[in-house]
Amino acid sequence: MSNRKYTVIDLFAGCGGLSLGLYQAGWSGVFAVEKNKCAFETLKHNLIDKKHHFNWPEWLSQEPTDIIELLKNYKDELKSLRGKIDLVAGGPPCQGFSMAGKRMEDDERNQLVFSYISFIRLVRPKLLLFENVKGFTYSFDKAKNPDAIPYSKIVVEQLEGLGYDVTPYIINFAEFGVPQRRKRFILVGVRKSIKIHSNEFMGKLKEQFPDFINQYGLTATPTLSDAISDLLRSNGTEPTPDRHGFLSGRYGRATTSYQKYLRKGIPVSSVVPDSHSFARHTKEKTECFENLLQDNEIVGHRIDGDEREKWGIHQRGITVLDPNTVSPTITGAPDDYLHYNEPRIMTVRECARIQSFPDWYEFRSKYTTGGEMRKKEVPRYSQVGNAIPPLFAHQAGLVLKGMLS
């Protein structure tokens, strides 16, 4: 493979999961577009300030940026990038399409899909990598309107109209070494003037996987316990450095290849992992969690609806995690899951481990938020839950580089 630097722009970059994986695969960032200041602060701290991943253009400020404003104010600058950009990656916010949330056709975030297409029209990269939730492939209100077309089909047709050979995939990241069942819509596009085909992507991804995990000493199917068993509260606690009045867990011994891989770059003397701060549960909630953990029949089972009353659960539902299999999909809601052997919800760092973020990747802004502020703030839990797992992005980045070379 040649030593030339392959260039990438990351749209809707969030806290940087996709950019991190592409950085690990040897890509050279040009810039990233992320509107939310909380998520951008995390991306900037890790990938701009620490890793110098981006060769940021002088005409664009290193600050949170709305893609609609970018398209309006920098049309000529974006056009001038034609012929210089190998890959445009990223996925518009997916909450309006998510099957886990309230699927809302009129969610204004859905329209950002068309901003993505406008960006492609201006920049004309050689390759595209587009990610969204599986629900992106389903039509809204199919029962009321049988002719409704899913957004995924609209995007494919518009990109083909711009001269791209496009192949959509549904990919479960658990099949690529991520300890989590997380199915996502992934679309790969190649400019038709280039003599490679987008339908090569999946075959190359699967073909490369055994060598990839061997190179990094990983296993093909790590479990939840493999990912986080060194982060138990029983290891001891220290005051959380950046969260007054809370306690963080101490590092235990790394016992699995996955833990050792994600702890690379952390000094041996480190005691407290970043963002490993425990929630302060009420006595009543802790007792409820202790009761749940004593019943082996409900492990891995979502407790919601009327069943909540039996256990005294007041939230919308909770799943007792199973240490011996992969985790369910990590979301931005911290109280969706109960730790598999401690009466508490997961920490941000534990969620980040399941998402395959290395421990040196530090999260910024508030830990969590609620109510109306959920629409404006993207605190640490949400940043992690919204991200593309870097371990998958790393593999995708290697395949895309191979296709270009």
Positions annotated as catalytic residues are: 94
- How does DSSP assign 187-203, residue by residue? EEEEETTSS--GGGHHH
Three-state SS letters, 12-35 = CCCCCHHHHHHHHCCEEEEEEECC
**CA-angle at 103, arms to 99 and 108, nearest 5°:** 130
What is the C-alpha separation between 369 and 300, in angstroms, rounded? 26
H or E element, residue 172: strand 164-172
267: Cβ contacts below 8 Å, ≥ 6 apart: none
CB neighbourhood size of 18 (10 A) = 29
What is the C-alpha separation between 37 and 26, in angstroms, rounded? 26
Pairing of strands 183-191, 127-133: antiparallel
